[in-house]
Structure 1
Amino acid sequence: MSEIRSLSPALLWQFFDTLCSIPHPSGHEAALRQWIADWARERELDVRQDRVGNLVIRKAATAGMEHRKGVILQAHMDMVPQANADSPHDFTRDPIQPWIDGDWVRARGTTLGADNGIGLAACLAVLADDKVQHGPLEVLLTVDEESGMTGAFGLEPGLLRGEILLNTDSEQDGDVYMGCAGGVDANITLPYEAEPVPTGHQAVRLAITGLRGGHSGINIHQGRASANKLLAELLHQLGQSGDIRLAELHGGTLRNAIAREAWALLTLPAAGLARAQDLIESYRRQYAAEFAGVDDFIRLELEPAGLPPRVMSPDLQRRLVAALLACPHGVMEMSRALAGVVQSSTNLGVIKTEAEQVYVQCLIRSLSDAGRDRVAEMTAAVFRLAGADCRFDGAYPGWQPDPDSPIMRLLLDTHEALFGVQPAVKVIHAGLECGLFKAVYPEWDMVSFGPTIQGAHSPDERVHIEAVSRFWQLLVRVLRQIPESDGR
């Protein structure tokens, strides 16, 4: 039990503290799912698990509210596992350690899991608190949202009965979301062509650390540095200025997080070491100036390393570095219909050297399928010119805004009545599950809202305490004011 249990609303924070104690990174939600199902059955709630692992929990309407429209309250059960380089945290075994930092809650050295753990805790608190008034209620808890949206992809028609979906996976107090980007994963491989280490070469390790990283959709327009793109630039420049041989390179850990760290194992003649060090120092100063105020703590280090058993062929090294240098990354297009909204973007998220190949993964996002496919083809063209295999999977649609949404209107009016201001209506450049839900349940009226969460998908993640209280107040009031069903 942690200090966050003293916060208000107490029930929500107590559930969140429990969630932190049960490891649940993407793909490892089974223990948390079992705990939730057992807890719900103890309360004699109707609990069902579908074929992909989603949970649906039903609670009867409050007395007198049986004829209100049915509401689906929705969150996902998994969290993004990101830790600082010096953290020994094992996300499959170790609990998250939340702590209060002034007006915020954060975790020690890791992601907090407020994305979407606060929303999940709110769903459980509604189920637990019989003082919350509502009509017929279903809670939909999905699996694997962060790494592939498996739960949303596998949602079956006919499983849910409600007419209104309240998604709790947004991250800004005072904003309400009525649309989101779709996306697709690019999975790229190049066969590893190996040669012996040249005679007379010594090994060095080039590391880039200290970057902010962040969410590859929400933060992509903020100009944050990508460790993977910086590494590609440095390798290109080192190759131009001297005889280096690349043995392996690694960068990023998740396709939906801007890469915070990257490193490469190189060999070079002893006579070339001073030149390489001078070049790295020159780029350290350049990056410090270029990213001032955005990424202020970039570190470049070139240190001696053990000699590798092999290096890449010169041809593979040339093609790989060129492709990474040319790989699209960042904002590709701004929306022409929605001022200030990113239309299409892409993130060079992961680079891994494996035994037989080099693997690269990008996540491409767009508000339109056409924009998504355009950037995908651009990415494929770059890597195929380099002799790589490029395959796409996990494509999911965006959620197209509905300006006439009744639940949107209700939420706007409720927010104004509670807090004296209307929230901003926005479209988020991230992959909410709503687009996939709409494909299966096209009649659903949907809206997304949540508390302020900063630094999602990075160890800097934090959630604003007062915003959680406001989120809870808004959720409870909206549930109470859901109108009667047209079918009455």
Structure 2
Amino acid sequence: MSCAINSLSPQPLWQFFNTICSIPHPSGHEAALRQWITDWARGRSFTVFQDATGNLIIRKAASLGREQCQGVILQAHLDMVPQANADTPHDFTRDAIQPYIDGDWVRARGTTLGADNGIGLAACLAVLADEQLTHGPLEVLLTVDEESGMTGAFGLEPGVLEGDILLNTDSEQDGDVYMGCAGGVDANITFPYVAEAVPCEHQALNLTISGLRGGHSGINIHQGRASANRLLAELLVAIESFPEVRLSEVSGGTLRNAIAREASALLTLAPSALPSLRQLIEHKQQQITAHYQGVDDHICLQLQEAQLPKRVMSQELQHRLSHALLACPHGVVAMSQEMTDVVESSTNLGVIETHAEHIYIQCLIRSLSQAGREAVASRTAAVFTSVGAACEFSGAYPSWQPDPHSAIMQLLLESHQRLFGSLPQVKVIHAGLECGLFKAHYPHWDMVSFGPTIQGAHSPDERVNIAAVARFWQLLTEVLRHIPKKRAQHL
């Protein structure tokens, strides 16, 4: 592990983050990190308990004289997105993240860093550890499985938490504060695999697409970055001009909420078709390079010899699959008519997998409105069901609707002005936050989300700005110092 980041300021926060990096914690594998935090918190005599879903809740008493303040819930999620470069062997369930300082940033060697949401998590622990900070009653809520399904937020029961204000630490732009977010739903599509024997005298080639930037399907979806899955669909349709080229397997992306960075197709073909296929791929490489210049500059298409498979898809399935993938909505569907430069609805063609009996596709649909979400879902279902695939939806979560009268937002604005001499930008984020789900069981909570600058989240390019982390800490502690007293209740 890197000791260098331990000396960064604020030191306690960075030391906690370094420890978090040392304990594997991808979605679904948060138990070891949760246990370490539990042991640490109990060692400091905090009240600690785990709910039935696996969320961890820690309580810290108010500072002397601040007992009558409104209770604050500091919230972060325990899990991280596991993404590694193709040339970086890394088992996210066993291997530690390797953070290092790169100029003004901290990043990881060949993998996601986990600053999303590890920096927010570290800040929550640093607040608990700070004996000099004055504050009212505090609760820390650490949820599980946020990145792959928001399981922890879905499972949070009413009446467990006592606070009045929730500070979500899962935003990623210094100088911005968020008062709303998009909702979402997963589209799960399956094509039954209809197999045929590999034609005689065919050879096998693996077509790969790599070198893409990828990114967060909520934060980066409007930036025009390439999707390896969408490029794969374009290539598969183009290859149909060669009937002697057959498709055996397709794969691309690993997470529904990450823009696919790599994709591949296992092909078989007659040797006579190889020169024409290579010429087509070279032509497509030139087109793609020109189209994404300045946005995604390192896209690489390759054809490599492969072991001959035992089966290929029927030509009819190959046609239906290729054209459905190309027709599948991907990217920004609509911009908000109420807020400038805010995405209203989008969808991400996130995962393509070939299994023994079927081909599986997963998209994540996001929208600020339920009507927008349902409209994109209907379009997605129409594309796939019209060609004989099954399309089911799961994991729907609501948007977080802005509250223009939020008292905690006003306090945060005043604190930012006092500290930095300027007001932050108040925004609605297209990425999904857990706040909308919390509102279902805690409708009285006054909520706001903020955090330091994190770039490249959900990809191995992820990095967090060191100076922004210091400002985030200043703002967080300033807000906690000025939480007002509870309003008197009149009978």
Is it true that 1:380 corresponds to 2:381 in the alignment?
yes
Maintained 8 Å contact 2:27/2:81: yes
Compute the displacement of 1:241 (Å). Answer: 3.8
CA distance in 2, matches of 1:351, 1:439: 33
Residue type of the alignment partner of 1:430: A
Q: Which letter maps to 2:268? A: T
**For 1:415-435, what per-residue CA distance to the aligned partner results, in whole angstroms no more than 9, with x for missing partners?**
011001100000000110000
Quick one: distance in 1 between partners of 2:264 and 2:247?
11
Question: Which residue of the partner structure matches residue 336 of structure 1?
Answer: 337
SS at match of 1:63: coil
Contact 1:242 1:272 in 2 (8 A): no
Determine what percentage of the aligned residue pairs are the same residue. Answer: 73
In terms of mean alpha carbon deviation, does 261-270 or 237-246 score higher?
A: 237-246
Offset at residue 41 of structure 1 (A): 0.4
**Alpha-carbon distance in structure 1 between the residues aligned to 2:242 and 2:270:** 13
What is the Cα deviation at residue 132 of structure 1? Answer: 1.3
Which amino acid in 2 is paired with 1:201? H
How far, CA to CA, are the matches of 1:305 and 1:93 in structure 2?
Answer: 30
Instruction: Work out whether residues 218 and 429 of structure 1, in 8 Å CA contact, stay in contact via their aligned partners in 2.
Output: yes
2:74 partner amino acid = L
What is aligned with 2:459? 458
Number of equivalences:
488
Partner residue, 2:244 = 243
Alignment of 1:87-166 (within 5 A): 87-166=88-167
Within-5 A mapping of 1:161-240:
161-240=162-241
Give the TM-score taking structure 2 as reference length.
Answer: 0.99
State yes or no: 1:11 paired with 2:5. Answer: no
Asked if the contact 2:157–2:441 (Cα under 8 Å) also holds between the matched residues in 1, the reply is yes
Q: Which blocks of at least 5 consecutive residues in structure 1 are unaligned?
A: none
Q: TM-score, normalised by structure 1?
A: 0.99
Shift in Å, 1:93: 0.1
Q: What is the alpha-carbon distance in structure 2 between the residues aligned to residue 321 and residue 349 of structure 1?
A: 16
The question of whether the paired residues in 2 share the 8 Å contact of 1:348 and 1:361 is answered with: yes
**Aligned to 1:333, what secondary structure does the other structure show?**
strand
SS state of the match for residue 241, structure 2? helix
Q: Please state how far the C-alpha of 1:200 moved relative to its aligned partner.
A: 2.0
Partner of 2:31: 30
Aligned to 1:322: 323
**C-alpha RMSD over aligned residues:** 0.7
Q: Secondary structure of the equivalent of 1:206? A: strand
Quick check: 1:169–1:432 contact (8 Å CA) kept in 2? yes
Paired letter, 2:418: A
Letter in 1 for 2:150: M
Which residue does 2:45 correspond to in 1? 44
Task: List 4+ stretches of structure 1 deviating above 3 A.
Answer: none
- The 2-side partners of 1:373 and 1:133 are apart by 46
Helix, strand or coil: the match of 1:240? coil
Distance 2:310 2:87 in 1: 27
Q: Is 2:352 the counterpart of 1:351? A: yes
Moved more, 127-136 or 18-27: 127-136
Aligned 8 A contact 1:216 1:257 in 2: yes
Give the aligned partner of residue 477 of structure 2: 476
Q: Distance in 2 between matches of 1:339 and 1:464?
A: 26
Aligned-partner Cα distance in 2 for 1:189–1:133: 54
Q: Secondary structure at the match of 2:414?
A: helix
Aligned AA (2:331): G
Q: Give SS of 2:89's match.
A: coil
Q: Distance in 2 between matches of 1:286 and 1:320?
A: 23
Code of the residue aligned with 2:321 in structure 1: it is L
Tell me how far 1:386 sits from its aligned partner: 1.3
Instruction: State the match for 2:313 in structure 1.
Output: 312
Amino acid at match of 2:61: A
CA distance in 1, matches of 2:189, 2:243: 28
SS of 2:240 mapped into structure 1: helix
For residues 189-237 of structure 1, the C-alpha deviation after alignment (integer angstroms, 9 at most, x for no partner) is: 1111110001121111100000000000100000000000000100110
Amino acid at match of 2:378: E
CA distance in 2, matches of 1:487, 1:121: 34
Q: Is 2:242–2:273's contact at 8 Å kept on the other side of the alignment? A: no
Report deviation, 1:242.
4.2
How far apart, CA to CA, are the structure 1 residues paired with 2:160 and 2:51? Answer: 9
Q: Which runs of 5+ in 2 are unaligned?
A: none
Inter-partner Cα distance in structure 1 for 2:241 and 2:435:
47
**What amino acid sits opposite 1:221 in the alignment?**
H
